[in-house]
């Protein structure tokens, strides 16, 4: 037998044994025999390096360390899930689905909610080419070399597969591996990981893949993203089975259930198994099993309507509240924080917990020195839920928020009707200044690449920047003089700053950090106003616009009444910050509260344009036809939504009728 054939046969054998061991959990040979096959392959490849291929089982480790992770843009956003914490919220979720789907019985796939790091794997012609973290859902980090070290992730798919396949799943660290890793870390006097999730995330984000290879990581797939043309199964459970046939592992605890009764039964069953499972979970996930029904239900901005995470009950612990400290947020919010005697809650060492505000402190009567119960639920910030009054010292004193900012000594005020007290220092307050600057330069705002938290902190500490406009006045010498900066880094930052001068008005508004003005509100404002018109608008005018309520209107007006804010804006414009002039949409609310659904292809405008125009007239635009729908706008090739609208007696508008409606 020639060497190339011998090598290929060994690879096929090893990959087949990997599949049985990691995917099917059904090993066919002892570990010693597997090791012998692997050593034989390594020996042959060492003698014939020209025959080594990227998908060989020997090529999981050995890449040169990286200096930085590169960015990967997700073709389809990696969305998060909406959460439910009790049976009532799950029943509400189910009722919404029944109403939208017009059916009483829905089949779900129930899955354990793995507590690890979400990962996207991209296969091209069966070969693993890219692995990326979720990041912000739209852009993540390229961790391909590290992912290749995870033994149950196939470097090449099995059987007949699509030319392009994106697989999504979770990288986790099993409990046993986590315990062993911490023992090793302790023996070397190195960092002890707080929980398996942190250990998994830290291991996967190593710049040196050789380090990742020493960590006991494993992977479970739970969905697909981008996929080239192929006839996929019509249920989520069947897709998971297909992934398994392609060589990708899925959680064995997955189960198809009927209705919410089946979901809740699965939840109780998994909850009783939780401690015995080999990996950490923090709840279960229910997904509508029928893919067509998933498509009908669609998505909200950051989550699918057809899936929900049912979180396990909050985990609690008893500890001592050592002191109550005060933090100042980006908007000047004064937040009391409990400094705790460190305690392990749900696998995480907790030393601080939020106390929310003065009203909450008064309600619970929390005092320094108290023995308290601390709760942590999933990723929610730990909070003090109860004090043990019987353990309180007789000398304890009630806590009152200071009337002066602990950072800048400005007055602290609390507006009538608001629970939060705030520092009045604004951009003059270093605490607010740093957070405001970080927000201003962030990716969703002005997107000044390279200007991260540490660099912003240096600018504030060195008194180089007092407000966002100062960023555009800094010289090359000032940038290069900062710690860990040099001429090249200074050039890069200044190039990013110059690039940021061209922006959209919506992103600019969001960057200003006006309270209650998030990305979507900023977009709505930019469609309705130019800068000068927005400066002069009243609370009443703002409240006539869809999705802008009295609180947001008040904050917007207050912001533009502050002379120092206007001065900063004018300085930014003088520095060259500009945005293209766009045609403003009407603010008439002639379609207020009318519900529209758009379907098919429109020829005179895009569906996004139609949606935006309808929203500016006060209409609500949804993806699902129901009895509550007032109008269905039907373009060319309208599908099942048109039929459903006719069945329900919903008024149908052709595109010409929509144009006339918008015109009038």
Strands, E assignment, 136-272: 139-141, 164-172, 218-227, 255-258
Cα gap 218→200, rounded to integer Å? 9
Distance of CA 248 to the CA centre of its chain: 24
Cα gap 156→15, rounded to integer Å? 9
Long-range contacts of 323-326 (CB under 8 A, 24+ apart): 323/368, 324/355, 324/361, 324/366, 324/367, 324/368, 324/399, 326/401, 326/402, 326/406
Residues 93-127 as b/e (b if ≥16 CB within 10 A, e otherwise) read: bbeebeebbeeeebbbbbbbbbbbbbbbbbbeebe
Burial of 601 (0-12, 13-18, 19+ CB in 10 A): exposed
165 token code pair? 């396949």
Cα gap 80→302, rounded to integer Å? 6
Cα gap 540→408, rounded to integer Å? 34
Neighbours of 393 (CB within 10 A): 11
Residue recorded with tokens 């379907």: 599
**Cβ–Cβ < 8 Å for 100, 181:** no
**Cβ–Cβ < 8 Å for 546, 524:** yes
Active site residue 151: no
366 token code pair? 């929390």
Helix (H) or strand (E) holding 371: strand 371-376
Cα gap 502→192, rounded to integer Å? 45
623 token code pair? 């993806």
**Cβ–Cβ < 8 Å for 48, 41:** no
**Cβ–Cβ < 8 Å for 81, 232:** no
Supply φ then ψ for residue 383, to 5 degrees: -140, 155
What angle, rounded to 10 degrees, do the helices at 196-204 and 175-187 form?
70
Partners of 315 in the beta sheet? 376
**Cβ–Cβ < 8 Å for 152, 81:** no
Catalytic residue among 113, 175, 311, 620: 113
Report the alpha-carbon angle 131-132-135, nearest 5: 170
**Dihedral over Cα of 633, 637, 639, 644: its sign:** positive
Cα gap 348→336, rounded to integer Å? 21
Supply φ then ψ for residue 353, to 5 degrees: -145, 145
Neighbours of 428 (CB within 10 A): 15
Residues 131-143 as b/e (b if ≥16 CB within 10 A, e otherwise) read: bbbbbeeebbbbb
Supply φ then ψ for residue 109, to 5 degrees: -100, 125
Total H helices, total E strands in the chain: 25, 22
The residues annotated as belonging to the active site are 113
């Amino acid at each position: 037998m020639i060497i190339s054939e011998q090598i290929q046969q060994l690879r096929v054998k090893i990959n087949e044994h990997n599949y049985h061991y990691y995917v099917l959990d059904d090993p066919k040979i002892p570990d010693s025999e597997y090791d012998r096959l692997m050593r034989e392959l390594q020996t042959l490849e060492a003698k014939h390096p020209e025959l080594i291929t990227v998908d060989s089982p020997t090529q999981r480790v050995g890449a040169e360390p990286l200096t930085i992770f590169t960015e990967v843009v997700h073709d389809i956003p990696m969305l998060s899930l909406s959460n439910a914490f009790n049976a009532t919220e799950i029943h509400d979720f189910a009722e919404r689905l029944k109403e939208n789907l017009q059916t009483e019985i829905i089949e779900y796939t129930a899955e354990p909610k793995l507590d690890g790091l979400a990962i996207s794997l991209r296969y091209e012609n069966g070969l693993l080419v890219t692995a990326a973290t979720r990041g912000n859902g739209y852009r993540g980090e390229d961790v391909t070399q590290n992912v290749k070290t995870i033994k149950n992730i196939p470097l090449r798919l099995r059987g007949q597969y699509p030319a392009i396949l994106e697989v999504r799943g979770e990288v986790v660290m099993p409990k046993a591996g986590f315990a062993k890793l911490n023992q090793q870390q302790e023996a070397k006097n190195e960092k002890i990981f707080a929980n398996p999730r942190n250990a998994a995330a830290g291991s996967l984000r190593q710049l040196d893949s050789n380090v990742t290879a020493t960590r006991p990581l494993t992977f479970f797939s739970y969905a697909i993203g981008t996929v080239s043309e192929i006839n996929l199964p019509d249920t989520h459970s069947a897709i998971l089975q297909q992934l398994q046939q392609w060589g990708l592992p899925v959680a064995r605890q997955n189960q198809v259930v009927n209705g919410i009764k089946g979901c809740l039964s699965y939840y109780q069953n998994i909850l009783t198994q939780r401690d015995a499972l080999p990996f950490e979970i923090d709840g279960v996930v229910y997904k509508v099993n029928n893919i067509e029904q998933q498509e009908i239900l669609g998505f909200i901005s950051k989550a699918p309507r057809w899936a929900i995470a049912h979180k396990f009950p909050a985990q609690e612990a008893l500890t001592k509240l050592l002191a109550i400290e005060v933090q100042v947020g980006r908007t000047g919010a004064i937040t009391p924080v409990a400094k705790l005697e460190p305690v392990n809650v749900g696998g995480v060492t907790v030393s601080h917990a939020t106390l929310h505000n003065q009203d909450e402190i008064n309600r619970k009567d929390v005092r320094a020195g108290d023995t308290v119960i601390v709760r942590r639920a999933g990723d929610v910030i730990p909070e003090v839920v109860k004090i043990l009054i019987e353990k309180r010292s007789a000398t304890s004193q009630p806590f009152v928020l200071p009337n002066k900012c602990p950072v800048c000594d400005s007055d602290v005020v609390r507006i009538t009707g608001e629970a939060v007290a705030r520092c009045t220092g604004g951009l003059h307050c270093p605490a607010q200044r740093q957070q405001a600057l970080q927000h201003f330069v962030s990716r969703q705002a002005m997107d000044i690449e390279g200007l991260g938290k540490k660099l912003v902190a240096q600018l504030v500490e060195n008194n180089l920047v007092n407000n966002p406009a100062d960023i555009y006045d800094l010289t090359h010498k000032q940038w290069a003089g900062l710690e860990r900066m040099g001429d090249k880094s200074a050039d890069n930052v200044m190039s990013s700053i110059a690039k940021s001068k061209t922006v959209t008005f919506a992103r600019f508004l969001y960057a200003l950090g006006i309270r209650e003005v998030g990305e979507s509100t900023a977009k709505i404002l930019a469609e309705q106003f130019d800068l000068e018109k927005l400066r002069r608008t009243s609370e009443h005018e703002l409240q006539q616009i869809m999705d802008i309520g009295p609180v947001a209107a008040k904050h917007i007006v207050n912001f533009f009444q502050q002379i120092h804010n206007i001065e900063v804006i004018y300085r930014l414009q003088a520095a060259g910050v500009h945005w293209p002039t766009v045609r403003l949409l009407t603010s008439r609310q002639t379609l207020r509260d009318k519900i529209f659904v758009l379907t098919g292809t429109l020829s005179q405008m895009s569906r996004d344009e139609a949606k935006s125009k309808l929203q500016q007239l006060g209409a609500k635009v949804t993806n699902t036809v129901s009895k509550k729908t007032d109008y269905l706008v039907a373009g060319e090739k309208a599908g099942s939504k048109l039929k459903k609208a006719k069945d329900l007696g919903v008024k149908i508008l052709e595109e010409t009728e929509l144009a006339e409606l918008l015109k009038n």
